[in-house]
Every structure is written in structure tokens, then in C-alpha cells.
Amino acid sequence: MPFPISIRGTVRIPIDGVDPTRVATVTRRVAAMLDTAGASIATQNDNTIAFRTRYFSGFGSRSVVVQLSSGSIEIDADSRELRLIYQASTVRMLVIVTAISCVAATFLLSMAQNSPAVDDLPVWFPVAAFAIAWLWLFGGNYLMAKIRLGRWLEQGVRKLLFG
């Protein structure tokens, strides 16, 4: 079940004549990219990398892996293309954003019940605020991670292969 707990995709790079040594070189490059981005490599072999990220890597970080909990990248090839097949977990982001949204909705609900200044607010307002906050925070970060991860992998490997 991809949304909302994981991101999956495949990056295809057309290339002639991919051999096992080139796949191993690309695997090392992707591992180095993950390390630079702040992920730690859990396991690595000739064509697969499993990684994890720190629990809190800082809000506002520009790292491509900041929204991810863990994941794996498999490098596969045939005679015409190189494929980077990736899967990454977004469970941690789901839990954190849901908790933040619940706190915000609870705060708004208590304001609506205890303040004469907001007596006109409908009872459903905190629920709507929760849904909007959750969609904005989680949905935006999920979409950003989904778009950025594939592009980041493609750019890094293309730079290695084509200069």
C-alpha cells in the first residue's frame, strides 16, 4: 500500500552496454549520495542498498531523505537501460504530522469551547482544521519527497555516467 506509508518508483536511464562492473560503480555512487544526504547504509551488496535516516534530522533541512524513515534502492540493468528501483518508507513522517495536526485541532477545539470571542465557530471547525492541516503538512511533504527522490537519483547517476 504505497500512500501514505511508502514511496515507490523506478528511474530508467537509457544506456548501451551495461556490465556488472558498471552496476557496481553505480551502486557505490548511490550509496555515497545517500551518505552525503544524511542517510546511513544498513546493508549493501553489488546491486542493492538498504538505508535508514536519523529520527530528527532537523526541520527545514534540504536533504532529499528528510521525509523518509528508511528504504531500499536496487540497481538493475539490461543491454539497453539502467534501472534504479526505489522504495522508501514515510511512516515516521505520517506519525509526526498526524500528532502535530491532532494537537492543533485539540487547541482549536478548546478555543472554540472556552472563548466567547469564537462562539460563532461551528463545531466541525476543528475537524476541518485537522484535515486541512494534515493534508497540507503530510500531503505536501509526501508529494515533495515522491518527486524529489526519483529526480535526485537520476541526476546523480547521470552525472556519474555521462559527466
55 inside domain = yes
78: domain CATH number is: 3.30.310.80
d(CA 7, CA 139): 12
Cβ(150)–Cβ(88) under 8 Å? no
Query: Quick one: pLDDT at residue 106?
Result: 79
135 inside domain = no
Q: Which domain, by its residues, includes 155? A: 2-91+141-162
User: pTM value?
Assistant: 0.84
Residue 41's SS3 state is: strand
Query: Quick one: pLDDT at residue 60?
Result: 55
56 inside domain = yes
What's the domain count of the chain?
1
Going residue by residue through the chain (163 aa), what tens digit of pLDDT does each one get? 577 799 999 999 998 887 888 899 999 999 999 999 989 999 998 899 999 998 766 555 678 998 899 999 999 988 899 999 999 999 999 998 888 888 877 777 777 666 666 666 677 777 787 888 888 889 999 999 999 999 999 999 999 998 8
100 inside domain = no
74 inside domain = yes
d(CA 145, CA 137): 12
| Cell, residue 101 | 495536526
12 inside domain = yes
